[in-house]
Amino acid sequence: NVVAVNDPFLDLKYMAYLFKYDSTHGRFKGDVKLLDGKLEIHSAVSNATHTIQVFTEMKPEAIKWCSAGADYVVESTGVFTKMEKAKAHLAGGAKKVVISAPSEDAPMLVMGVNHTTYDPKNYTIVSNASCTTNGLAPLAKVIHDNFGIIEGLMTTVHATTATQKTVDGPSGKHWRDGRGAQQNIIPAST
């Protein structure tokens, strides 16, 4: 169960609005209420109500995960990808941290590839690699285990993401990133 989320940049009312009205997935079939810094979500489909504590902390060590009953934290900011930074979540009471991006120093586990190497006694922080790795690695493992792979080359075609522009506009790092995502194929690293 998701018991808590942290977003220092999003107003709770706006979070509820985004949850209830989604351009891609449609309107939520149920009700979303604000209740003392929490989202109370009632599903009309399952007739179940679930409450999620919402934190608005900039620093992971300030998030009181234990007060919400969170044992596992998924670090998805893209900022705290090194173990030293990700372990700040443990200060708030989390027992384990999963970094949802590649990490330079955390053990990297991919389901169906090397997840059996997970050691719960020694791994407090792990990375689940990138979306590209999770898409490619299981298939590559099957091919390699059965036929062998000596060398490979891949191209990823990624759907539009929230950070891309809908129309052309200025971009700081690469000019190509300023192009409208719907009309262009924009080279990027993963």
The whole model's pTM is what? 0.86
User: What CA–CA distance (Å, rounded) separates 139 from 18?
Assistant: 35
pLDDT of residue 189 exceeding 80: no
23-67 per-position pLDDT tens digit = 989 999 999 999 999 999 999 999 999 999 999 999 999 999 999
Choice among 48, 66, 111, 131 that is catalytic: 131
Q: Tokens in use for 96?
A: 């384990």
CB distance 130 to 101 below 8 Å: yes
User: What CA–CA distance (Å, rounded) separates 84 from 73?
Assistant: 15
Is 131 among the residues known to form the active site?
yes
